[in-house]
Structure 1
Amino acid sequence: MHHMSTEMQACIEECLRCHSTCLSMAMNHCLEVGGQHVEPAHFKLMMACAEICQTSANMMLIGTHHHKHTCRECAEICEECAASCDAVGGMEACAVDLH
């Protein structure tokens, strides 16, 4: 069995946590609050963030060297999403890494 580094394991866990947070916030908080929270650019960014986080975790779990590509894109999308959540306001769970 392939031994995974503790750094890789931590990254997988963080990706899965982010996936869960983004999807849950989008489908519950954002849909309930409405307004800027469901503005298409913001909402699509949240969905893209959830999706790329899950994909990145999967690529690392598969053990393919291609995870470096998905993880690079994941970091970029996560930063953009956190900034958007921070700008919309009331989404501290999503914007936590900015402060």
Structure 2
Amino acid sequence: MSDHSDAMQACLDACLHCYRTCLGMLSGHCLETGGRHVEPEHVRLMLACAEACRASAQMMLIGSPVHRHQCGACAEICAACARSCEAVGGMESCVAACRACERECRAMAA
């Protein structure tokens, strides 16, 4: 599916950015910072968010008709991850990436 719509391309870009940001922040910031940043619930949510974003991107790239359902689930996970990162603090780039991905995925799922 080489001719993605503008909306799909925007969603794909947001998903890949969020995937990179969540994994990067988890490994390069949270693990180094410790404390609340490495609480199991927060770490699991960040890993789930990264995987949901990766899976959404893959569904769009392969042209799967279920990409809308995956994007809907991804939006929910991104929203939860943004809340968790905001509560932990010092994770503004992750919060922003999650919120942007949530917006794009909600639009794609609609």
Asked if Structure 1 and Structure 2 have the same fold, meaning a TM-score greater than 0.5 normalized by the shorter chain, the answer is yes
Counterpart in 1 of 2:22? 22
Count how many residue pairs are aligned between Structure 1 and Structure 2.
Answer: 98
Q: CA RMSD in A?
A: 1.3
Summarize the alignment of residues 37-76 of structure 1 with structure 2, pairs less than 5 Å apart.
37-76=37-76
The one-letter amino acid of 2:6's match is: T
Report runs of 4+ in structure 1 exceeding 2 Å deviation: none
Give the distance between the partners of 1:58 and 1:33, measured in 2 at CA. Answer: 31
| Residue in structure 2 matched with residue 7 of structure 1 by the alignment | 7
- Counterpart in the other structure of 1:34: 34
Give percent identity, aligned residues only.
Answer: 58
1:13-37 CA-partner distances (Å, limit 9, x unpaired):
1000000000000011000000000
Give the whole-Å Cα distance in 1 for the aligned partners of 2:18 and 2:40: 20
Aligned letter for 1:46?
Answer: M
Q: Where do 5+ consecutive residues of structure 1 fail to align? A: none
Deviations 1:46-86 (A, max 9, x none): 00000010000000001111001110000000000000000
Gaps of 5+ in 2: 101-110
Mapped to 2, the partners of 1:21 and 1:50 lie a distance apart of 8
Counterpart amino acid of 2:17? R
Given the two structures, how large is their TM-score scaled by the length of structure 1?
Answer: 0.94
